[in-house]
Structure 1
């Protein structure tokens, strides 16, 4: 599903860059019913369209911090804070994630502590069908933004990873934070 969405998003700039002109029959050769006029190319000049990178990159000047209570019962409220050291405001946009219960941001992965067993998101491959809208925010110059998520976890010890993934200006970015360890009683 993500590959299909990525393929569609990479085709949008190509479609937008092409000129659409009406096709009119030549004035010297009248069209008769049943006759098909040959199509002529709109332009013989190649269209130079920058393609977005398939892999997100990190963003210099923006750091992420993930925080959560060290010990909790059942529900874990996680906070991902993006902090900017940039001199200009930065437009951010994130879409809903089908594997993250249709949340915008942050993206979360929970592992059982001491193993690589993923608890969240579930690895069954049963992604949800979410609306494909975007959430936009502005990260002010020298400012910060907070994104929260609440997860229900059973008793145990977990390592939680968090990151922001979306667009920063015109670039795809993934800004990761240090994982945090939590104990659920």
Structure 2
């Protein structure tokens, strides 16, 4: 069954392109191989190859060959670079930003984006999200989560709300109403890039 395109913005042609652009535009000085770009964005190799070809042709992305690797990065000299960066950050930026800020914390077993942002990413239409809901499963001090949420909010220019659950609460056979509701709606696994619908 074909999934509906993401409803985060009508200006980016596909969810895969949005995810790829987020990885490139949020790290504009970093060159990535196509395989690393695919791993970070959770986009398959053939799609990464095809979309990078299109982005290079339009001069949004620049590439170079080093040995057997094709390295790509955002083209900061493109006339629309600043505007594209803002659009990509606002729409597809939450995944790489949340992954960078929370992904390295050892005691986190699951890191999920849920709520309206995840719904738009799953193709459910509606107004642009006015916040970002993040579920952290594990035993992490609330202070650490609060500090990282403040950094994420500032970088994304979007309120980031963190909900922390213990492993047994999240995996309970008879979950609390909040957990049951979150499980029944779209969520994006930040660590794997998997969209759960």
Find the structure with the greater CA-based Rg.
1
TM-score by length of 1: 0.22
Q: Structure 1 or 2: larger strand share?
A: 1
More helix by share: 2
Structure with more contact order per residue of length (Cα contacts < 8 Å, sep ≥ 6): 1
